[in-house]
Amino acid sequence: MNKELLSQLEKEGTPAYVFDLDVFRNRFAYLHNGIGLDTGMTFSMKANPFLTSTAAKIAEHIEVCSFGEFCLCRHLGIRPEKLLISGVLKKEEDAREMAGYGKDAALYTAESPDQMEILNACGKALGLTLEVLPRLSSGSQFGMDAETVKGLIAHRDQYPYLHIRGIHFFSGTQKKMLKKHTKEIAMLDAFLQSAEAETGYHLQMLEYGTGFGVPYFVDQKETVTTPESLAEFKALLAGMKWQGHKSVEMGRALAYSCGSYCTAVEDLKTTDGTNYVICDGGIHQLHYDGQLRGMYIPNIDVISTQQPGPEETYAICGSLCTTNDILVSGFKHTQLHKGDILVFGNTGAYSFYEGMSLFLSHELPAVWLVDQNGLQLARSRRETWMLNGAGCATIAE
């Protein structure tokens, strides 16, 4: 944590998130090189919308999964050809607005026959042919089953304002073993071949959400994203009999390592032999997938101006009025002091908004972006109490 950032944290206060854009860019390059530069890379912005502008400069597409995410991309000036407009629900009025911006340059997923109708109507209104990827379901509420997708392809003439570019598939996240990807890619290869054989139509593109798992805690290591595993994954894609453009989606695997969450020690006490740290953050602002009441230890750095003392074991707790607010239950470190800043690593994906951010009307943390060009405040700390009370809407605005 450089001196400039530390001084800003002291000035603006904690809690705060810090996202290192250089770490993100390097991680993107590492993964893209590993799976092959001939394979497209899509950034799922739901993992961290603060990285969207940076990702748009290096990714083939930005996956947009809600109307709110689309509005953010439009506000940032993300070009239409960079957008892959997805999401399990597309309301008609939202779809019209998104298509009005994306036109025939963006890609659109279709989650159902009804969404095909909505998108076709959008294309007709614009006098354009929209590029569509029907989503193949993995057995969840996302997408459609194989026969329904094949039926849409076979009856594509019923959608004269749509061009079916290919298919989209995503089955879940935190997949840490390649055997899951091996099965999925074999299934997709078989489906694409059979769909083309049965419909006489060439599908040009496969958009595959990898769901690569990542390590969050000190006793975990990378598995599916090691150089060896990425080489195996690359070989799986290259070995497909179906020929077309392959693009993979990633969110967590790209973003997780670029983030830090900073929270200050505000109180210390020993109760029944347990050393408790009360910090100004909490589980409403910090979440690690797989964490259970602080049982697992994430990577934590301590910034302190005090002289180091003897090693102690601490339960690090937040400021929420709930006994569940335990960030780490067995953190061993030299003696902590009031005013020390705890820096939790690997918080670049999801962690910062999977918590109950409005619970107890605590403030939203500041967000800092940092790279070799310096430090930028992306969002100041903001109070939330006006969002949680009747009659406060005008104050919030």
Q: Residue 391 has what pLDDT?
A: 66
* pLDDT confidence tier of residue 15, bands split at 50, 70 and 90: very high
Q: Tell the burial category of 327 from Cβ atoms under 10 Å away from its Cβ (0-12, 13-18, 19+).
A: buried
**Under DSSP, is residue 157 helix (H, G, I), strand (E, B) or coil?**
helix
Q: What's the pLDDT tens digit per position in 239-288?
A: 999 999 999 999 999 999 999 999 999 999 999 999 999 999 999 999 99
Q: Which two tokens stand for residue 90?
A: 């597309």
Query: Which pLDDT band holds residue 378 (cuts at 50, 70, 90)?
Result: very high
User: pLDDT-derived band of residue 24, with 50, 70 and 90 as boundaries?
Assistant: very high
Phi, psi of 374 (to 5 degrees): 125, -160
CB 216 within 8 A of CB 298: yes
Read off the pLDDT of residues 43-54 as tens digits, 9 standing for 90 and up: 999 999 999 999
Q: Which residues contact 135 (CB under 8 A, 6 or more apart)?
A: 86, 109, 110, 111, 142, 143, 144, 149, 167, 168, 169, 170
Give the whole-angstrom CA distance, residue 41 versus residue 234.
13
The pLDDT, as a whole number, for residue 309 is 87
Q: Of 170-179, 190-199, 380-389, where does the model show the most confidence? A: 190-199
Q: Report the alpha-carbon distance of residue 318 to residue 265 in Å, rounded.
A: 9
- Helix locations, 200-320, DSSP H: 227-238, 252-255
Reduce the secondary structure of 362-393 to three states and give it as a string: CCECEEEEEECCEEEEEECCECCHHHCCCCCH
Q: Which domains does the chain have, with CATH numbers?
A: 3-15+257-387 (2.40.37.10), 36-250 (3.20.20.10)
Query: Of the candidates 95, 208, 207, 65, which has an alpha carbon nearest to the alpha carbon of residue 162?
Result: 95
What pLDDT, in 10s, does the model give residues 130-184?
Answer: 999 999 999 999 999 999 999 999 999 999 999 999 999 999 889 999 999 999 9
pTM across the whole model: 0.94
